[in-house]
Amino acid sequence: MENKNNRYIVVLEIASSHIAGIVASIADGVSDASVLCYHELPILDCVRYGSIVNVDEVCNKTAELLKRIENERHFSPCNITGVYVAMSGRSLRSETVTQEFTVDDTQTLSQEFLDNVYRKARASFEQDCVLGVVPRMFEINGAEVQNPVGSLGHHLKVSVNVLLCRPQLRRNLSMVFDRLKISIIDFIVTPLALAECLMTEEERRLGAMLVDHGAETTTVSIYKNNRLMYLSVLPIGSRNITRDLVSLNVLEEVAEKIKKTSGNAIATGEDLNGLDIMGVSAYDVSNYITARAGEIMENVYNQLTLAGFTSDQLPAGIMAVGRGMKLKGLKDLLESITKMQVREGRNSNIPAASNLINVPQLLAVLDYITREPQKIVNCIQRVEQPVIAPEQVAVAVQEAERPAEKKKTKKGFIHRFLDRFNDITNETEDEFAEDEENNKRR
């Protein structure tokens, strides 16, 4: 039984292939949240590259998902009043802003001073585009430091990454929840949450790459010295492979099934001539899948160059997540192209058989939120059921057992007319009978 004083966290992810929601409860004074339920609905073509293109359809699907959550036994009856939204999508990116200051070397640097630096960095961009500001590098008198607060020096150099997206991405999300009369408590940048939740601090300090390979986008972020150094979203994903297979004259759902059951990102070297998969040439299937998978992973590797890094500078390797990474051989292909060790990113506390294994993004966002429990906003309002006193129950039972009285039904217009007509007829017949009797007497 859930404690009525618990706060409930509702996290939603609106992706190119699905809408998913997870609910957890957290008690006062406790930092760990308990997952209560998870629901997911497939979508098609109403979200492209992580951005909503059909608000009506997404609104309907989201309403259906939220209704399923509200009907959960853990907190039903209830109303969902707010949600945390996992933010990703094609336009998500980071921009580096560097500022230099001459400061009083007789006064220690304060957090307030740094907060003003972050505000100036935000002001360089339209506020509708800014999702957050994260530190990239600090230098005092030419020497790099991890945390400048409390330090002394006369020259300070601050480099930060401003996380940005197109205003339309946020606007369309807000439009959906405005229609549903549900507030968005906060947007959580998914790659940041994934790195905080699934990577160790040692990996982020040594240097590592995070790859989230989804249906229509692939997000690449790079960490070094325990700081985000680079973030970019590529407009290419596993659905590109499916659409290549559609050109073999099969339906998209058939192509998706072929990819999942028989696809391999690495050519097997077997003689596939004469073989077929669900009526399609196995040789053609292999060529399409290996070509597109190779292109996607080459684009991922190219992000290292764009970020100004080499594989040797990221000794912790690559952590890969996303449903697109489930393609057979894709992990090995990425290792072969990048010459870096690749490991699957998953929460070790989640059983392999659980549906939650497919949504590390939502679990990471949930974990990210609970790191500051004092800031958590309750997302669910319980609907209190009326309390019925025992004497009221007894009266209700007696009423139910009493024989039902036959109700007088109100007659319609036609029945009233016929009754009146019969009355008039009867009166007329009585008058005729009385006249006939008088004639006989005469």
228-273 pLDDT tens trace: 999 999 999 999 999 999 999 999 999 999 999 999 999 876 667 7
Fold of the domain built from segment(s) 1-89+166-198+347-398: Nucleotidyltransferase; domain 5 (3.30.420)
Q: Using the 8-state DSSP alphabet, how is residue 367 labeled?
A: H
pLDDT of residue 63 exceeding 50, the answer is yes
Of all residues in the chain, the percent with pLDDT exceeding 90 is 70
pLDDT at position 403: 62
pLDDT of residue 332 exceeding 60, the answer is yes
- Distance in angstroms (rounded) separating the CA atoms of residues 30 and 290: 48
Do domains 1-89+166-198+347-398 and 93-164 share one topology? The answer is no
Fold of the domain built from segment(s) 200-345: Nucleotidyltransferase; domain 5 (3.30.420)
The string of pLDDT tens digits covering residues 188-232 is 999 999 999 999 999 999 999 999 999 999 999 999 999 999 999
Q: Any idea which residue has 């040789």 for tokens?
A: 283
Q: Any idea which residue has 């209190």 for tokens?
A: 384
pLDDT of residue 438 exceeding 60, the answer is no
Q: How confident is the model at residue 278 (pLDDT cuts 50, 70, 90)?
A: confident
Do strands 280-281 and 143-145 pair parallel, antiparallel, or not at all (unpaired)? unpaired
Q: What contacts 92, CB < 8 A, 6 or more positions away?
A: 50, 131, 163, 164, 165, 169, 189, 191, 219, 231, 233
pLDDT at position 351: 65
Q: How confident is the model at residue 405 (pLDDT cuts 50, 70, 90)?
A: low
CB atoms within 10 A of CB 125: 14
Query: Is the model more confident about 410 or about 355?
Result: 355
The string of pLDDT tens digits covering residues 101-156 is 999 999 999 999 999 999 999 999 988 899 999 999 999 999 999 999 999 999 99
Query: Is the model more confident about 278 or about 384?
Result: 278
Do strands 155-164 and 130-140 pair parallel, antiparallel, or not at all (unpaired)? antiparallel
pLDDT at position 153: 94
Least confident span in 137-141, 243-247, 290-294, 385-389 = 385-389
- Distance in angstroms (rounded) separating the CA atoms of residues 207 and 318: 9
Fold of the domain built from segment(s) 93-164: Dna Ligase; domain 1 (3.30.1490)
The answer to whether the CB of 228 falls within 8 A of the CB of 161 is: yes
Residue-range domain boundaries for the chain? 1-89+166-198+347-398, 93-164, 200-345
